[in-house]
Structure 1
Amino acid sequence: MGRRKNHPASQREEKQNEATPPQVNEVEDNGEGEEEKEAESVPKEEEMPDAANLVSSLTQNPFRKRRYFFIFGVSLGVLIMLFLGGPPTEMARVVRENQFLQEYVASLSVPRSLSSVREQLSSIMPEGSTAIFGAGEADALPGERLAEKGLTRKHPVILVPGIVSTGLEIWKGDPCARRYFRQRIWGTMTMVQQFLLDTKCWLKHISLDPETGLDPPSVRVRAAQGFEAADYVIGGYWVWAKLIENLAAADYGPNSMHMASYDWRLSFENLEVRDRYFSRLRWQVEHLHKVNHEKVVFVCHSMGTNVYHYFSQWVTRDNPKWIDKHVAAMVNIAGPLLGLPKATASMYSGETQELRELGTLGLAMQQYMNQTMRIGFFRDLGSVASMLPRGGDRVWSADRYMYPDGRRRCGEGEDPDDAAEEGKPPCLEPSLPGDGNFSKVFLFEDGDEEFGAPDAHMGVDEALAEILRGQRKKNKRHWLVQKYANWYSHGIATDEREMRKRRDKRGAWTNIMESPLPHAPNMKIFCIYGVNRPTERQYYYKAHSATGQHHVNTSVKGAYVRGGIGYSDGDGSVPLISLGAPCSYFWRRKVWNPSGVKVVIREILDDPDYFSDVGRQGPRSGDHVDVMGNHAMIEDVIRVAAGRFNLQDRVFSGIGEITQNLEEALESPA
């Protein structure tokens, strides 16, 4: 697929000053940032067998047996990884019902670390196939190209992964898990093996105690360490691998680069309580600074950016100038700093887009995790609560009419056909209540009152309140009831006096609108994220006729709604407002950035190429995960690490409109 040309969003011009959104501007760096089209063709992916013929195909050909188990394993793991779901696939059913496959899965030789994964995968892939590892050898790495131009190692780098991308290891568990001591319960083929053979055992060890938010009694699961902790998950599904490889090409290594892996299930508070994560991270930064004689650059992906912000508040509580002394820059890659509507949906109904669109696999999932179990699982994880939307309706109404693909809502009396003829961006007319108006995150079908349903429409404030009310009714000893108010905060401070009142409240550290950037006038922040991908933003619910529990009504369709879910602009996982508003609005205002840290936006217009890397979307993708292999992103990271901070704003989306809406909303009385 070629690059989009003349995209309506790319033609917007923004005025740049303290009170206005960033200017559309391409970096001028002597052509070093130019992207190259990949010319090498990739072998066509072999067609998968359907489930009915799976067993016979496995038993007839040993090579096909190993290859198809690998492909099914990758598929299972990736679906789970998409949002903590853990759905069993048709493969699980086949394994349980077939003695041969049970013996085969039990006899699998599972690597104890990811260092041997590439060798294992190479032995089962067709000769000449390189797609699963990325581009072929003929394609120069972005890091190699920049190194040839003199952009090499300067600042040491700390890598902070996002949710679900760090491997988790079993250090202590029930008898059913003893054979997996120090092996991955999350992130490798070991996970697939455990899941297929004993789903109940796997679920017990991956879950957290509902009262403490920590390990259940008799269980000890800890984050894997080193670069292997987050370079690949489920073998060939890369997350950090491409960036690590390119940094290595720019002369980075273990003495100048560190993977700050962590247990992504925990609340930020419990990361320090149980693992002393922030204490160890502070020591690591100071160590790299001392050894390399240069300040550190943080490179954070997804929830890793939220973790970094919490750390910056924690570390400067007793030493306000620590960040300025030790940190040169922070690169925020697709960070959901204002939270995620999908976190709200997962805690309310146990559903997100990925689970609803699994079809028969979604039905199979209920064999092990019905709706009640899924809701409980998500609510037990402190990390999911860490990504609930912040700022309330005042903030989350600012993107109410923000859509992907340059679409817009038709004005009153405007005909969509007339707009097209006049050369205007296309517009769509709403076809049902709330369609295309994202000021409400939950919309309930009429007639649900008999099941005790809440109001017909809910913004993020009401949705959060409903989740907490429901948990209080269910279990008053749950940590959501006992500790939520101390661990989290969702308000907004609009002046210095309000900020000072919140300074020592740890819950405020999870919210960038209640905890300003630390004093670091010499530091830089670079926000890199994809745009122009449909991203779930609101949910249409109906009550189950028997239980009264609400679930997404998949029959609802509209101009901006598919399968009961409304979609706004974003990177496929995080809405644009959460990706861009911290960098375009909040951190460009003195109350949230008192020392004037320079903030630069580097948007990536999604341009997928589904043939460059099997199962992935190519080096120009803006997808939330695949952006980690985006060449423009990699080049920006290497420039920053090399001390080239002269990048300029690059904007394709409607973040300027969101910024203006926020300015108007936050100047009005609450």
Structure 2
Amino acid sequence: MVLVHRGKNWSDSNLVTKDSDPDSAEKLKEAAKTLKAEVSKHKHKRESRSLFATRRFLFPLGILLGALLAFSLIEPRDIQDLHAHLTLLLGEYTMPDIPGFDLSRVENEWQRLRSNIPEVWKFNVDGREFQVGESMRNRGLTAEHPIVLIPGIISTASRYSRFIIPVELLPGSRLWGGFNMLSQVTFNREKWINAMMLDPVTGLDPPGSKIRAAEGIDAASSFIQGYWIWSKIVENLAVVNYDTNNLHMAPYDWRLSFYNLEERDGYFSRLKSTIEGFKRRQNRKVVLAAHSMGANVCCFVFVCLIIPPQQNLTSDSFKWVESPEHGAGGADWVENHIEAYISIAGTHLGVAKAMSAFLSGEMKDTVQMNPAGAYVLERFFSRAERQKLFRSWAGSASMWIKGGNDIWGGPHGAPDDSHNCTHSHGELIAFRLAPPPPPPGSVSTSAGIREELQNMTADTASDWILQHTPSTFQKMIETNFSFGIERDEARLKANNLDHRKWTNPLEVQLPNAPSMKIYCVYGHGKETERSYWYTQDPNAYDETADQASGLDPLCVDPSDGSCSAGTPFDTPLVRKSYIDADFTNETLLPKVVNGVKMGEGDGTVSLLSLGAMCVEGWRRPRWNPANINVTVVELPHRPVPSIPRGGANTSDHVDILGSTGLNEIVLKVVTGVGHEVHDSYVSNIREYAQRMHWD
């Protein structure tokens, strides 16, 4: 085919330049000049751009920073593993001879390089790993008592065992803890949530899912590579001759209620057998060290009598141990087997953040994020999803605040209020703004109209939260926990028959173990969420049943008598409540940051929960009839700004596990010189405890 060039057809109307329109020609010339000037300007700007702003510089810089971050998390044993894996690989495949290369020299060079890295980059290792253990060994101290470590909530890794819905995981892969969890949350979010959530009715595994706590010391030594939890304590214990023959990590599925821990996993049966085995082989009583929620799990502090075989009790810890029907340990089991109990930042009387998490799926950590992070979190993992997940984890309800107004304060003030406070912590949940009126034309019998919001104390807030939760959650609370205070000694003894009381130190007595010692060690000096300002969303409604009205918009079968269906087209008018994150006023006392009223504590647990039982409750015969010696050590929070996790003198709720002060206390107790540990206070906890209503 021959292509013929089309000549200009000057008759085309679009190509005709009319001499009669000189203004148009001038405008075209001006536009051309302007466009040429703009092109020249942008070209000059691109040529003059700094080298540091170009992709040729930024791309290699990103690779370099990523490599440095990865190498900062490498430990010496990782290099040894690399050597072994490379040797195995070379033996598996036939390869041409290459010059000899000794990888053992790499470790020495790596150690020399790390010693020159500034401390800010030492995320995983900061040089304190064995200092406490070495100082104890230099004193001639060595392992005396076997020790069992009980981790807190979320510390124990959870491994995937079986899941019917396809999940890109192999059996044994970690669904909680480790970098694998991050990848699953990022790329398989819905499947991960379904796997981690428990059945709301049974409190056990949902159909098709089987998630179990990881086992061994590594189960809670680190959360992810580079973020240690118990590893500092384990390393120092190893220096004074501890190994798996006299050291045991007792991880558990923290999602389960304590009743179901024994029902499903036989956790307390195995814990009892481990302790008895240590005592039999070592001929020494055992030391228990529990962190955070582990203090609630370690319920040996709640037993003094033999429990008769009257009920089908398969519940928690040493109440179960001393029951003749189950543990068959007897009333003197704790006295014969437990040398000491070390409570590390124990949540004895609960935490305020548990209340906000159950109510609205929020806490200080979520509302105080920067706007960009908060937006991403809400889009990726919304409040409603977090709320639903928290409510399915019955174990976390053990940290519901205990004692009500008698411990946490009421409308006339709280024990930890300062003398010149502008707002009391006694109002656990307060509303800064009046709730908006109901929408026009709403049904007059709906709960939203009758619900009158007012500032709430610990007692009223607990009831209000339960009214805004599903009936399955309410039933779980009723059958597993109790959050009151008991002053009658006869009732305290009778509570040994009621497993719901066993996680509340205000409703049971310490065991009949006069030779046992209790050490309460916790941090102080870091701002901690204590109470909240809440508000309501005028455009969002709570679909949860309102117990005050009896209407349940989620009622499926009204004929069974458990719920009442609303009228057709009746929209629920109970508005969703959430923390008033827009309210910040640091001039108030207590300071308010993003709707959270800050108080004293270790950054997570309030000072009242950390120390009140230790300095006052367990000093009274009513709750401590055997007169067990209780020692309280408060560690001041003195972080080093150049070290990401605070260094040797931090007392943050988690980082305290790596502090020098705590490690010294643990090693002194287990090596037989616990008498060197004495009371040490840096807060006003004794004054606060005196203000509480114990009688």
2:127 maps to 1:136: yes
Aligned partners of 1:442, 1:141: CA distance in 2, in Å?
45
Aligned partners of 1:326, 1:626: CA distance in 2, in Å?
30
Amino acid at match of 2:205: D
Deviates more, 1:533-542 or 1:375-384: 375-384
Aligned counterpart for 1:606 among listed residues 612, 637, 643: 637
The structure with the larger Rg is: 2
Deviation of 1:140 (Å): 5.6
List runs of 5+ in structure 2 lacking aligned partners: 1-52, 74-106, 300-315, 325-329, 439-447, 541-574
Identity within the alignment, %: 32
Once the two structures are superposed, what CA deviation does each residue of 1:363-409 show, in whole Å capped at 9, x if it has no partner? 11222332222211111111221100011111112982637xxxx43
Deviation of 1:285 (Å): 0.5
2:369 maps to 1:358: yes
Amino acid at match of 2:652: D
Aligned counterpart for 2:653 among listed residues 620, 624, 627: 624
Q: Is the 2:435–2:453 contact (alpha carbons within 8 Å) kept by the matching residues of 1?
A: no
Aligned equivalent of 2:580:
553
Deviation of 1:343 (Å): 0.3
Aligned partners of 1:239, 1:200: CA distance in 2, in Å?
28
Aligned equivalent of 2:621:
590
Gap change, CA 1:637 and 1:447, over 3 Å in 2: same
Gap change, CA 1:55 and 1:331, over 3 Å in 2: farther
Aligned partners of 1:182, 1:53: CA distance in 2, in Å?
45
Q: Is the 1:151–1:638 contact (alpha carbons within 8 Å) kept by the matching residues of 2?
A: no
Three-state SS of the structure 2 residue aligned to 1:619 is helix
Aligned partners of 2:250, 2:132: CA distance in 1, in Å?
24
Once the two structures are superposed, what CA deviation does each residue of 1:391-434 show, in whole Å capped at 9, x if it has no partner? 1111112982637xxxx432xxxxxxxxxxxxxxxxxx52xxxx
Once the two structures are superposed, what CA deviation does each residue of 1:200-219 show, in whole Å capped at 9, x if it has no partner? 11111122121222221101
Three-state SS of the structure 2 residue aligned to 1:546 is strand
Deviation of 1:576 (Å): 0.6
Aligned counterpart for 2:694 among listed residues 651, 657, 666: 666
Aligned counterpart for 2:507 among listed residues 514, 517, 521: 514
Deviation of 1:610 (Å): 2.5
Let me know the Cα RMSD of the aligned residues.
2.5
2:387 maps to 1:394: no
Aligned equivalent of 1:293:
283
Aligned equivalent of 1:312:
318
Aligned equivalent of 1:323:
334
Aligned partners of 1:59, 1:209: CA distance in 2, in Å?
48
Aligned partners of 2:71, 2:503: CA distance in 1, in Å?
39
2:557 maps to 1:530: no
Once the two structures are superposed, what CA deviation does each residue of 1:349-370 show, in whole Å capped at 9, x if it has no partner? 1110001112222211222332
Aligned partners of 1:174, 1:379: CA distance in 2, in Å?
23
Aligned partners of 1:192, 1:57: CA distance in 2, in Å?
26
Q: Where does 1:135-534 land on structure 2 (aligned, <5 Å)?
A: 135-136=126-127, 141-309=131-299, 310-318=316-324, 319-359=330-370, 360-397=372-409, 400=414, 402=416, 408-410=418-420, 430=422, 435=423, 437-448=424-435, 450=437, 452=448, 454-471=452-469, 475-476=470-471, 478=472, 480-534=473-527
Aligned partners of 1:71, 1:57: CA distance in 2, in Å?
21
Once the two structures are superposed, what CA deviation does each residue of 1:508-551 show, in whole Å capped at 9, x if it has no partner? 00101111111111100000000121110111011112102111
Aligned equivalent of 1:15:
none
Deviation of 1:165 (Å): 0.7
Aligned partners of 2:165, 2:274: CA distance in 1, in Å?
36
Three-state SS of the structure 2 residue aligned to 1:525 is strand
Aligned counterpart for 1:640 among listed residues 669, 673, 694: 669
Deviation of 1:629 (Å): 0.7
Amino acid at match of 2:694: L
Q: Is the 1:171–1:220 contact (alpha carbons within 8 Å) kept by the matching residues of 2?
A: yes
Q: Is the 1:401–1:409 contact (alpha carbons within 8 Å) kept by the matching residues of 2?
A: no
Deviation of 1:149 (Å): 0.6
Gap change, CA 1:565 and 1:293, over 3 Å in 2: same
Gap change, CA 1:54 and 1:503, over 3 Å in 2: farther
Q: Is the 2:342–2:521 contact (alpha carbons within 8 Å) kept by the matching residues of 1?
A: yes
Gap change, CA 1:638 and 1:58, over 3 Å in 2: farther
Q: Is the 1:207–1:380 contact (alpha carbons within 8 Å) kept by the matching residues of 2?
A: yes
Amino acid at match of 1:317: S
Q: Is the 1:299–1:331 contact (alpha carbons within 8 Å) kept by the matching residues of 2?
A: yes
With a CA cutoff of 8 Å and minimum separation of 6, indicate the structure with the bigger relative contact order.
1
Three-state SS of the structure 1 residue aligned to 2:156 is coil
Once the two structures are superposed, what CA deviation does each residue of 1:180-238 show, in whole Å capped at 9, x if it has no partner? 32111111011112122211111111221212222211011111111100111111101
Aligned counterpart for 2:594 among listed residues 563, 566, 573: 563
Once the two structures are superposed, what CA deviation does each residue of 1:443-474 show, in whole Å capped at 9, x if it has no partner? 01342164645531111111111122122xxx
Deviation of 1:605 (Å): 1.1
Aligned residue pairs total 530
Deviation of 1:483 (Å): 3.3
Q: Is the 1:152–1:638 contact (alpha carbons within 8 Å) kept by the matching residues of 2?
A: no
Aligned partners of 2:406, 2:538: CA distance in 1, in Å?
35
Three-state SS of the structure 2 residue aligned to 1:214 is coil
Gap change, CA 1:512 and 1:55, over 3 Å in 2: farther
Aligned equivalent of 2:312:
none
Three-state SS of the structure 2 residue aligned to 1:544 is strand
Gap change, CA 1:336 and 1:56, over 3 Å in 2: farther
Aligned partners of 2:58, 2:414: CA distance in 1, in Å?
50
Q: Is the 2:514–2:626 contact (alpha carbons within 8 Å) kept by the matching residues of 1?
A: yes
List runs of 5+ in structure 1 lacking aligned partners: 1-51, 73-118, 411-428
Aligned partners of 2:392, 2:54: CA distance in 1, in Å?
39
Aligned equivalent of 1:112:
none
Gap change, CA 1:513 and 1:61, over 3 Å in 2: closer
Three-state SS of the structure 2 residue aligned to 1:132 is coil
Amino acid at match of 2:349: L
Give the TM-score normalised by the residue count of structure 2: 0.72
Aligned partners of 2:72, 2:126: CA distance in 1, in Å?
19
Q: Is the 1:313–1:518 contact (alpha carbons within 8 Å) kept by the matching residues of 2?
A: no
Aligned partners of 1:321, 1:365: CA distance in 2, in Å?
51
Deviation of 1:176 (Å): 3.4
Deviation of 1:583 (Å): 0.5
Amino acid at match of 1:608: P
Three-state SS of the structure 1 residue aligned to 2:502 is helix
